[in-house]
Amino acid sequence: MTVEQFRVDGKSTLITGAASGIGRATAIALSDAGARLVLVDRDEENLEQTLKMVDEAVTVVADVSKQADVVTAVDHAVSHYGRLDVMANVAGIMGAGGPITSIDEAALDRVLAVNLKGVFFGVQAALRVMGGQKSGSIINMASAAIDAAPAGLAVYSMAKAGVAILTRVAAQEGGPVGVRVNCVAPGFVVTPMTQRGEPDRREAVEAMMRKRSPLGAVGDPADIANAVLYLASDASRFMTGQTLRPNGGTAMPA
């Protein structure tokens, strides 16, 4: 294996959730490795900030919970670059937490719409294009919650577990037409999403996650972006239907 195998030079790459956090870090990592980017998010202001941090890129303001928006973003990638080589479905929200008995229908629907339906729409639109090309790599963002099943995060966890099984089904369907589909399940990462709330609470959660990690560490968005880069590159050409777990050892499923 050579360093060149981790390059993605010239690959048309669409990244959802690119305005901040893991999505922004993914955009930077893939840009540094030579990708041509389509940056997608509903946060136009921060999306423009990401655009300034990368090389060849265009932006699309879109809400991934809306199928038409996702199709439009994929169509834009194809019209602008002529093809779609990599689809990174990173966009996600934490949404309402608390006991299962406290979650109302609106809170349930919002988390599932972004974290599960949004990924489904991305996989669906990308498969239609990549299947015709007979090539492509789709990378979905799950969470260590699929292994830890934390109390108080039922909706988030079940949405991310859905992403993991969707990845495996899509890998079965995509393989015969040359499309690889894989998943990344990060552990606790310091991002704008995880830093919301009261400072004392944030510090307590971070300290707890450090204690749970054999490395005594929490993640940086770049740590997760590196996993996405690997799956986007030819270095992972023999990998599909898998879930990578950059989680600092906080979960070690068999």
Q: Give the C-alpha separation, 130 to 146, whole Å.
A: 28
Tell me, yes or no, whether 9 lies in a domain.
yes
The CA distance from 16 to 126, in Å, is: 12
User: How many domains are there within the chain?
Assistant: 1
81 is catalytic: no
- CATH code for the domain of 149: 3.40.50.720
pLDDT digits (tens, 9 = 90+) for 5-50: 999 999 999 999 999 999 999 999 999 999 999 999 999 999 999 9
In a domain, 209, yes or no: no
pLDDT at position 195, please? Answer: 66
Residue 216 lies inside a defined structural domain of this protein: no
Whether 211 is catalytic: no
Catalytic residue among 12, 31, 137, 143: 143
Residue 180: strand pairing partners: 137
Q: Which of 156, 157, 230, 233 is catalytic?
A: 156
Q: Is the pLDDT of residue 82 over 60?
A: yes
Of the candidates 244, 247, 189, 253, the one whose C-alpha atom is nearest the C-alpha of residue 213 is 247
- pLDDT band of residue 1 (cuts 50, 70, 90) is low
Classify residue 203: in a domain, yes or no: no
Residue 254 within any structural domain of the chain = no
Reported confidence tier of residue 202, pLDDT bands at 50, 70, 90? confident
pTM, two decimals, is 0.94
Q: Determine the distance from the C-alpha atom of residue 125 to the mean position of all C-alpha atoms in its chain, rounded to a whole number.
A: 15
The pLDDT tens digits of the residues spanning 122-156 come to 999 999 999 999 999 999 999 999 998 889 999 99
Residue 251 belongs to some domain of the structure: no
Residue 181 has pLDDT above 70, yes or no: yes
Q: Is residue 156 flagged as an active site residue?
A: yes
- Examine residue 215 and state whether it is found in any structural domain, yes or no: no
Catalytic residue among 11, 20, 65, 160: 160
Tell me which residue range forms the domain holding 146: 3-189+221-237
Residue appearing with tokens 């690997």 = 230
